[in-house]
Structure 1
Amino acid sequence: MSILRLEVSNPKFTPDNTQIVTIHSSHLNRRHDVSYYNTHARGNDLPIIVLLHGVYGNHWVWLNLGGVDLAYKKVKAEFGIQDFILVMPSDGGLFDGSGYLPTHNHGDYESWIVDDVIEASIQTLEQVTEQSRVYISGLSMGGYGALRLGAKYPDKFSAISAHSSITELADLKYFVDTDLTAYQCTNNDESNLLYWMEKHQTKLPPLRLDCGLDDELYQSNLKLIDKMNAAKISHQFEVFEGGHSWEYWHVHVQKTFRFFNEIESRY
Structure 2
Amino acid sequence: MTALRLEVSNPEFTPKDTQFVTVYSSNTGRRHDISIYNAHLIAENAPVVLLLHGVYGNHWVWMNLGGVHTVYDQLKQQGLSDFVLVMPSDGGVLEGSAYLPLSNGEDYDRWIVEDVRLAVEQTVSAVSKESNWYITGLSMGGYGALRLGAKYPSLFKGISGHSSVTCLEDLKFFTEVSLHQYQEKNDELESNIVYWCKKHVAELTPMRFDCGQHDELFESNNLLAKRLTQANITFSYEKHYGGHEWAYWHKHIATTLQFFDQIQRQS
Q: Give the alignment's TM-score, normalised by structure 2.
A: 0.98
% identical aligned pairs: 54
Output one character per residue of 1:85-130: Cα deviation in whole Å (capped at 9) or x when no partner.
Answer: 0000000001110000011115100000000000000000110000
AA matched with 1:124: T
Give the aligned partner of residue 92 of structure 2: 93
Q: In structure 2, how many angstroms separate the alpha carbons of the residues matched to 1:52 and 1:259?
A: 17
Output one character per residue of 1:153-186: Cα deviation in whole Å (capped at 9) or x when no partner.
Answer: 0000000010000000000000001000111112
Specify every segment of 5 or more residues in structure 1 that has no aligned partner in the other structure, as ranges.
none
| Alpha carbons 1:54, 1:142 under 8 Å: kept | yes
Q: Does 2-11 or 182-191 show the bigger shift?
A: 2-11
Aligned residues: 266
Give the aligned partner of residue 165 of structure 2: 166
Q: In structure 1, how many angstroms separate the alpha carbons of the residues matched to 2:5 and 2:231?
A: 43
SS of the residue corresponding to residue 72 of structure 1 reads helix
Give the aligned partner of residue 9 of structure 1: 9
Specify every segment of 5 or more residues in structure 2 that has no aligned partner in the other structure, as ranges.
none
Does residue 62 of structure 2 align to residue 62 of structure 1? yes
| Alpha carbons 2:4, 2:119 under 8 Å: kept | no
> How far 1:2 sits from its partner (Å)?
6.5
Q: In structure 2, how many angstroms separate the alpha carbons of the residues matched to 1:3 and 1:109?
A: 19
Q: Give the alignment's TM-score, normalised by structure 1.
A: 0.98
Give the aligned partner of residue 50 of structure 2: 50
AA matched with 2:101: P
Give the aligned partner of residue 18 of structure 2: 18
Q: In structure 1, how many angstroms separate the alpha carbons of the residues matched to 2:71 and 2:240?
A: 17
SS of the residue corresponding to residue 265 of structure 1 reads helix
> How far 1:4 sits from its partner (Å)?
4.3
AA matched with 1:89: P
Q: Does 183-192 or 96-105 show the bigger shift?
A: 183-192
Q: Which runs of 4+ in 1 moved over 4 A?
A: 1-4
> How far 1:139 sits from its partner (Å)?
0.2
> How far 1:41 sits from its partner (Å)?
2.0
| Alpha carbons 2:4, 2:118 under 8 Å: kept | no
> How far 1:236 sits from its partner (Å)?
0.7
